[in-house]
Amino acid sequence: MHYQSISDVRKQIDELDSQLVKLIAQRGECVKAAAAFKKDTQDVRAPDRVQQVIDKVSILAQEHGLPQEIIQKIYRSMIEAFIDFELKQHQAINHSEAN
């Protein structure tokens, strides 16, 4: 893309951020649904799955010309936040089933 001004660049970033937030919210709904299928906190933490995702997005980043270090930092942070969220969901599900 060719931009005429910093304002044009910022406008594009704002639009992309809007799309990213929507996609992250959709990912969050999937995480919430996944909590119901996991029997314990180890299943929630799923280190093998985390590594699988990191490996996959690293390849995608490389294909799109993005340094792998950037996508790895972003995804590790996002996954950590979603694991915390999913642990709370998992705890709530197990607590309600116990009552």
**pTM, full prediction:** 0.85
**What is the gyration radius of the CA atoms in the chain, in angstroms?**
17
CATH number assigned to the domain covering 6-98: 1.20.59.10
Q: What is the pLDDT of residue 99?
A: 65
DSSP structure class, residue 5 = S
pLDDT band at 42 (very low <50, low <70, confident <90, very high): very high
Contacts of 37 by beta carbon, 8 Å cutoff, 6+ apart? none
- In whole angstroms, give the CA distance from residue 20 to residue 14: 10
Region 24-36 average pLDDT: 92
Q: What is the pLDDT of residues 44-92, one digit of tens each?
A: 999 999 999 999 999 999 999 999 999 999 999 999 999 999 998 888 8
Tokens linked to 92: 């709530």
